[in-house]
Every structure is written in structure tokens, then in C-alpha cells.
Amino acid sequence: MGVYIFYLFGTGLIATSIVAILMKNPVHSVLSVVSSFFFLAGIYAGLSMQFLAVIQILVYAGAIMVLFIFIIMLFDLQKSEYSKDRFLWRDLVPLALILITAAGFISAISRSESIKNYVANAKLPSNFGSVSAVSFEFFGTSNSVGRFSFLFEVISILLLSAIVGAVVLAKRKL
């Protein structure tokens, strides 16, 4: 069951991503990327990571891409300013390189005995992927600090620097 969900959504993800590159109109590209995020959320859901799946839609599709759309609207691109890139045969060279590298990685991973053993012996907790499981990793349990507690605090500094950066962009001074 899980593997078919992966194939279904994976195909959709690749297709929409390719469409996003090929579209001339930036708004069409953004919409295509948004639908690719839905497919990605589907893959997450198929892997039982339902919190991540919802967050993928909530943050990426619902917030970040809205910002993209907003910027495109505010920049006011005319049709004459759309990308004029045309397909060239030499564009296939990097594509081929990427595909060969990816194939190498995939075959290396799938041949690796240690990964295979890890996968075979992997035991998932019964609440894997739920919101509370994520929470215990971040905030620990009643008598211990969680695995990612420190990283969680660092994220706030990252967000703070993002705030400062946005203000500097708008105001040109600190």
C-alpha cells in the first residue's frame, strides 16, 4: 500500500515540478509548485508523518508560496518581461549529469548492507509522526530535556534574524 502511494505522489511531484520550470508565466509556475507541495504532503502522509504533511501544506503552500504570489503581484511583470529562455540541446548535459549522479546515489544506498539492516530492524514507536511525538522530541518528557531542545531555542534566534533582515530590507537602516 505504502509503496503505491509513494509512486503515485512521487510521479505527481516530479511532473508538477517540471511544469513549474517550463511555465513562462511566473504565477503559473508558483501554482504548479503549490500543487507539487500537495504531492509532497501526500508522500509524507503515506510515510505516517501526518504532522509533517499538514505542516508542509500550512507553511510551504499556505505561507511561503503566498509570499511568492504576493511578490509577483507587487512587481507587476508585463508579458514582455516574462522569461525568454528557450530550450537548447546543451541544457541536456547538466540534466544528464544530475540523473547519472542520482542513479549512483540510489544504487549505492539500496545496495548498502548497513542501511538494509537498519531498515529491517527499525522499530517505529506507535505514535510515530503524530503531533505529540514531535513535541516530545522538542520539549522532552516531564523529567528530561528533549533531543532537539537546544535546536528549538536556536530556531528562535534564526527567526529573530529573519525579522531583523526583513526590517532592514524595508527600512534601509537598523
Partner 1 sequence: MVELIIWTIIKILFILFFVTLPLAGVLTVVDRRESSMIQDRIGPNRANLSGDVWDLSKRWRFLGLLHLLADGIKMIFKEDYSIKSGNRWIHTFAPILAFFPGLVILSIIPFGGNVTVFGSSTNLQIASFDSGMLLAFAFSSIAVYGITLAGWSSNNKFSLLGGVRATSQMLSYEVVLGLTLMGIFMIYGTLELNTIVQGQQSLKVDGTPDLLFGFLPKWGIFLQPFAMLLYVAAATAETKRAPFDVPEAESELVSGFFTEYGSMKMGMFLFAEYAEVVIFSMIFTTLFLGGYHVPYLYDSGFILPFGWGSLSINPTLVGFIQMLTFLLKVIIVAWGHLVIRWTLPRFRYDQVLRLGWKMLLPLALANIIITAIVLSFI
Partner 2 sequence: MFKIFLMSTTESLSKSLDLTTTYLPIVMMIVVALIVAFGMLALSIFAGPKYPSKAKEYPFECGWLLDSKDTKRKHSIKFYMVAIMFLIFDLEIVFMYPWAITFRQIGLVSLVEMFIFLSILVVGYIYVWKKGILEWD
Interface ranges with partner 1 (CB under 8 A): 25, 27-28, 31, 34, 50-51, 54-55, 57-58, 61-63, 66, 69-70, 73-74, 130-131
Return the bridge partners of 144, or none. Answer: 141
User: Could you write out the DSSP letters of every residue in 22-72?
Assistant: H-SSHHHHHHHHHHHHHHHHHHHHHTT-HHHHHHIIIIIIIIIHHHHHHHH
- Interface residue with partner 2 among 21, 22, 27, 166 (CB under 8 A) is 166
Contact predicate 36/56, CB 8 Å: no
Which of 19, 54 has the CB closer to partner 1? 54
* Interaction residues for partner 2, span 6-35 (CB under 8 A): 6
Q: Is there binding between residue 99 and partner 2 (CB under 8 A)? A: no
Query: Which residue bears the cell 517505529?
Result: 124
Rounded Cα gap, residues 54 and 170, in angstroms: 31
Phi, psi of 77 (to 5 degrees): -80, 130
Give contact residues for partner 2 (rule: CB under 8 A): 1-3, 5-6, 45-51, 55, 58-59, 62-64, 66-67, 70-71, 73-76, 78, 106-107, 109-111, 116, 119-120, 122, 124-126, 128-129, 131-132, 134-136, 138-145, 149, 152-153, 155-157, 159-160, 162-164, 166-167, 170-171
